[in-house]
Structure 1
């Protein structure tokens, strides 16, 4: 592992060796990085990503903006959106990792943080800002990991040393329609390193494919399912069963699903 950070937290994934490095440009970005495993983000599927120097990932185009605005009409993941200057030092690098060692690490983490979801990772896209200075200030170190398989997607965000800054900054994520938008609730940038939503200081994790957090014994639901109309005491239209259902001596060829959770035959 290459790292110029002196005290890297244990929750960081290895980074540096053989990775794509973003250009040393003011408000620069990587080229489009094709994802071997597409990433599902609240109902949309992305086949590529851009690692932007100012602390965020986008999916359809690079983003040079350094004034943070999460609800800006795009899918974006921003571990620390502010003006960062890798011309002054530090390295911004990334890779998609499908090695068994890294997949085992992220699978174990997601299983620990989301115990009601059965999940085995098949891809981990890792982007690391290693000791990259603010435009006016000290360096910061953080990492975002897109953890996914063909059905589920999660984000892990790891924070190392985060210096105080008077620059505008924001941390969180948002979607194209802003329906799924979250800003990490801290009042100063250094608090990112000492707070958590999963009881691991300096780490945050989010379930972001848009599917419900169903218990492990539930079958998958949602995609392609028939949806009842919103109505008080309403019901589905008649649903014809391809295989008739026998119920205590009677056989039914159709069913109604009522909003009151009592199926009627």
Structure 2
């Protein structure tokens, strides 16, 4: 902005700039106090009459940072350096409560100890460290480094944090009481080559954190973004952060806001116990599963397995072949981590988000790294070719698919149960948080179906997903809400057959040549546009009953039988 002579002006006057919501703004001194004629002698760059500004700004998802926010600022002074920061309010990170953390120049936040390593030990480290890796790499060896941080206990930042968390976790009814913002910049400070930010948020007994990404220049070392916990009980790696595609992080998200990732870090509730002596006699009652579950466990004489091997699975030979979307199998693999696969076992610990378009047919009742949570877990399975279970399966399928006139001849039931305890009695009585779900495979004639059942399911802090997929993903489905860990407790209330906690799907047939439906329509089916509308209604009904949406309906013949 350049100024020459300025004559007398009789109206209000101002020089400077402002932005939407005034996130960035500046008023040139003397421009509003009546001394505007002196502007030709003022400057911020030692050139009288000239004012120069950098118009660069961080993306809107970033919380305010730097000198404009009054942050504490640091520039790199030592290789692999870090700064300890004491909290004004304790912060709970997946069950561990901390009064301080360490901000590292290499894009890392650690809680219980500093991390001397220059670059990432890829998650999960299964070590002795709780950390958040905003973008962990040897950045301080290639760029000038600058970071700033600030804590807030009141004001507009808390208002913004409250709004953000309630937008992403609406069931929490959350109010922020403390926010910690730390931002890293690498390269020229006026227009950084690499920019990212972490926001820690707490309130009541809840804690969360956000990770925000801007531009990311080329990095020549290993990189990683995500979080890990002591013994890696909870851990997550942001996709694209380790595969060389980290520059795309500004376009990725888990909350539908490009460049932002949001996580719940657990609740730090402390149980206060008041002891009162009462003389009573009680008999502890074993926990029972919801009524939608088929019989399982010792009472059903199932094969029982204790969850003991990391990413383990068991091969099960089927007494009757089962057809899954056009492919017939004589065996399957039951995985400890909530997965059933058909043509091959799946060694990966957690889900590769649909659509995989890979070489695998599978059913994911609840696919996650459940076997690494440190909880006591078991699964059971059994096949049936006669008896009351077949009768029940026949009734269920005919209720949900009434046009099939189905009769079950084979049923396979697999049930998983995890409880946050190491005590057998607590496991039996479900006296701690639990995750319980079941898959039921059903066949008869040339038809096959499967049910998925959900009981109580605690929040899962790792990648998670439920549904099914097929080779090349020709047929696939993800149960809504199942790939967001904080929504998992609601699965017991969801359904596609109006039975809370139950999802029912048709697994295909060997040769279905037709489908009979009763349809009432007041449309003129001699008109092409009305025919298309009715066909779409039929298609939606099929999808509602478990059919993939990857098909097209065409009218082969139309005959008017009544005027």
TM-score (norm 2): 0.36
1:171-250 pair list within 5 angstroms: 171-186=466-481, 188-210=487-509, 211=512, 214-215=515-516
Alignment pair present for 1:159 and 2:446: no
8 Å contact from structure 2 (residues 413, 439) kept in 1? yes
Q: Write the distance in 2 (CA, Å) between the matches of 1:175 and 1:21.
A: 28
Please state how far the C-alpha of 1:44 moved relative to its aligned partner. Answer: 0.5
Alignment length (residue pairs): 216
**Secondary structure of 2:405 counterpart:** coil
Structure 2, unpaired ranges of 5+: 1-284, 422-431, 519-554, 559-563
Please state how far the C-alpha of 1:193 moved relative to its aligned partner. Answer: 0.7
1:75 corresponds to = 361
2:326 corresponds to = 43
2:313 corresponds to = 29
Deviations along 1:165-192, one digit per CA (max 9) or x if unpaired, are 2211000001012010100012511121
Please state how far the C-alpha of 1:20 moved relative to its aligned partner. Answer: 2.4
**Secondary structure of 1:110 counterpart:** helix
Higher relative contact order (CA closer than 8 Å, sequence separation 6+): 1
8 Å contact from structure 2 (residues 407, 445) kept in 1? no
2:125 corresponds to = none
8 Å contact from structure 2 (residues 437, 454) kept in 1? yes
Deviations along 1:61-114, one digit per CA (max 9) or x if unpaired, are 222322212433210000100011287312111111123200000110001011
Alignment pair present for 1:6 and 2:287: yes
Q: Write the distance in 1 (CA, Å) between the matches of 2:386 and 2:497.
A: 25
1:96 corresponds to = 383
Q: Write the distance in 1 (CA, Å) between the matches of 2:362 and 2:286.
A: 26
Describe the shift of the 1:5–1:200 C-alpha distance in structure 2 as closer, same or farther (beyond 3 A). farther
Q: Write the distance in 2 (CA, Å) between the matches of 1:48 and 1:90.
A: 24
Alignment pair present for 1:149 and 2:432: no
- Higher-Rg structure is 2
**Secondary structure of 1:209 counterpart:** strand
Q: Write the distance in 1 (CA, Å) between the matches of 2:387 and 2:402.
A: 21
Q: Write the distance in 2 (CA, Å) between the matches of 1:94 and 1:260.
A: 45
Please state how far the C-alpha of 1:133 moved relative to its aligned partner. Answer: 5.5
1:251-262 pair list within 5 angstroms: 261=557
Q: Write the distance in 2 (CA, Å) between the matches of 1:167 and 1:138.
A: 16
TM-score (norm 1): 0.74
Describe the shift of the 1:22–1:216 C-alpha distance in structure 2 as closer, same or farther (beyond 3 A). farther
User: Which 4+ residue blocks in structure 1 deviate beyond 4 angstroms?
Assistant: 210-213
